[in-house]
Every structure is written in structure tokens, then in C-alpha cells.
């Protein structure tokens, strides 16, 4: 009986220690558990991000809506926009966004679910949509911190449009860039933190309410994923 009490004390001590660390690499502390507290999910995600700082992912951008400018050859406009995205499908080195800076207020919802008796974790983050000026606030804002934004591509598009007589300084001042439907889904080994699969995505909408063209819009889909290899 005394031996049993000692064993239980040891188990309680180490169990409390492991639980306080909260590391995903201790799956025994979270067998088949679902976590929906945003702060706790973010902490798990940040640990996974730190374990995959050198990961290679594939970026993909696709234009879904082209502008039509009266009086101009719209085929040429489409070509110019496509050229701005010519090198868009590229390899992305490292985790996107700024994982260490993500805060609960950035997220509409967060979920971490452990499978295989705690050996595998699937994390889903749904950031709040974000609206920027042309420079995309770098990695500021909920989408910027969680996924990253397209400031360089937006500037490339505006540069292309300036070739059709739309002054770049005007475009920079009025453009609104909407990052809509953002979502992150990753599956990772909870023992090592190694990412098994990942997908980061959103829809991009550029609105350019310039004089005489109040509804000039450009749409695009954006994703960073392991599944495109």
C-alpha cells in the first residue's frame, strides 16, 4: 500500500509537470482531446511553427476576376495583370505570416484536435478578414500575422494598371485590399511537431474606386500548401 502511494505521488508530480509545460510533444497529456480555447490553440500552433521554421511550402495565386477599363483593350489589361503574377507560384521557405505574434483577438475560431491516442494533432485557425492599403501592412493584422499578405503582388498589379494611364500615386492612395475567407489547417506529428500536411488560404479582392471607375475590381485566390508538391 505504501509502495502504491509512492508510485501515485510520482505519477501525480510528473503528470502535473508535463501538464504545466503544455507541449504537444507530450501526447499522453492530451489523448484524443479537442482544444477550442484560442490562447491554448495558438500556443500549440506556435510550438509546431517553431519546430518547422525551415519547412518548404508551395505558394499558388490565381486571378479570378479581371478589371474592365472602358476605352482600353481589355485583353491587354488581362495580360498585364497576369504578368504581375507571372512568378506567383513559387516555393515558400519557412512558416508563413508571423506565428509568434498571433493573438486570440486575431481569430474568429480556433481548434486543435488530437487523434491516434494523442499522437497526431489537426489545428484549424480562422482569422478575422483584413482590409489594407496597397502595401498590405507587411505582417500586421490578423491575416498578415496568421498567413501573410500580398503587398508585393498588389504593388505589381497597380504598376501594371498605371501603364494604362491610371496614375500610380492615385492608385496607391485609394486602393483597398480585402483578404477574405482566411483559413489555416495543419496536421502534425504531436511527438515531434513535424508538419504532415498544411494549407493556408484566402480570397483576395482589390477595389480601386478611382474617378470615373468606381467599381474597378480584381479578384484572386491565394494558398500556401504542402499538397501542391
On whether residue 195 sits in a domain, the answer given is yes
pLDDT of residue 19: 38
Amino acid 10: pLDDT = 45
What is the torsion angle, in degrees rounded to the nearest 10, for the CA atoms of residue 156, residue 79, residue 62 and residue 172?
A: 30
CA distance 68 to 72: 8
Q: Locate 2 and state its grid cell.
A: 505504501
The CA-CA-CA angle for residues 112, 145, 111, to 5°, reads 10
Total domains present in the chain: 1
Upper half-sphere CA count for residue 61 (Cβ side, 13 Å) = 24
9, part of any domain:
no
Residue 1 counted as domain residue:
no
- Say if 2 falls within a structural domain: no
How high is the pLDDT of residue 136? 59
Could you list the pLDDT tens digit for every one of the 229 residues in the chain? 554 454 444 444 444 434 333 455 444 456 678 999 999 999 999 999 999 999 999 988 888 998 877 777 788 888 888 877 775 557 788 999 999 999 999 999 999 999 988 889 999 999 999 998 766 555 689 999 999 988 777 888 888 878 777 777 777 788 889 999 999 999 999 888 999 999 999 999 988 876 666 668 899 999 999 964 4
pLDDT at 212: 63
> Kindly report the CA angle at 93 between 186 and 203, in degrees rounded to 5?
55
Residue 217 forms part of a structural domain: yes
Neighbours of 11 (CB within 10 A): 10
Domain encompassing residue 38: 23-225
pTM passes above 0.75: yes
Is residue 12 domain-resident? no
Report if residue 10 sits inside a domain.
no
Measured distance CA(30)–CA(19) in Å, rounded: 9
Amino acid at each position: 500500500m505504501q509502495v502504491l502511494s509512492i508510485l501515485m505521488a510520482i505519477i501525480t508530480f510528473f503528470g502535473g509537470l508535463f501538464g504545466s509545460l503544455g507541449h504537444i510533444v507530450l501526447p499522453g497529456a492530451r489523448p484524443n482531446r479537442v482544444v477550442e480555447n484560442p490562447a491554448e490553440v495558438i500556443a500549440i500552433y506556435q510550438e509546431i511553427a517553431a519546430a518547422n521554421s525551415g519547412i518548404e511550402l508551395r505558394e499558388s495565386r490565381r486571378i479570378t476576376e479581371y478589371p474592365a477599363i472602358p476605352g482600353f483593350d481589355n485583353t491587354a489589361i488581362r495580360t498585364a495583370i497576369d504578368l504581375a503574377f507571372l512568378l506567383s507560384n513559387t516555393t515558400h521557405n519557412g512558416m508563413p505570416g508571423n506565428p509568434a505574434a498571433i493573438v486570440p483577438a486575431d481569430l474568429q475560431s480556433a481548434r486543435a484536435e488530437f487523434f491516434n491516442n494523442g499522437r497526431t494533432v489537426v489545428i484549424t485557425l480562422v482569422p478575422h478578414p483584413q482590409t489594407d492599403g496597397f502595401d498590405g501592412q507587411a505582417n500586421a493584422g490578423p491575416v498578415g500575422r496568421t498567413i501573410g499578405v500580398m503587398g508585393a503582388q498588389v504593388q505589381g498589379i497597380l504598376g501594371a494598371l498605371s501603364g494604362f494611364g491610371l496614375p500610380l500615386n492615385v492608385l496607391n492612395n485609394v486602393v483597398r485590399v480585402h483578404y477574405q475567407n482566411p483559413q489555416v489547417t495543419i496536421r502534425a506529428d504531436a511527438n515531434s511537431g513535424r508538419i504532415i500536411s498544411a494549407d493556408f488560404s484566402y480570397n483576395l479582392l482589390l477595389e480601386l474606386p478611382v474617378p470615373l471607375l468606381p467599381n474597378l475590381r480584381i479578384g484572386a485566390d491565394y494558398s500556401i500548401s504542402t499538397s501542391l508538391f
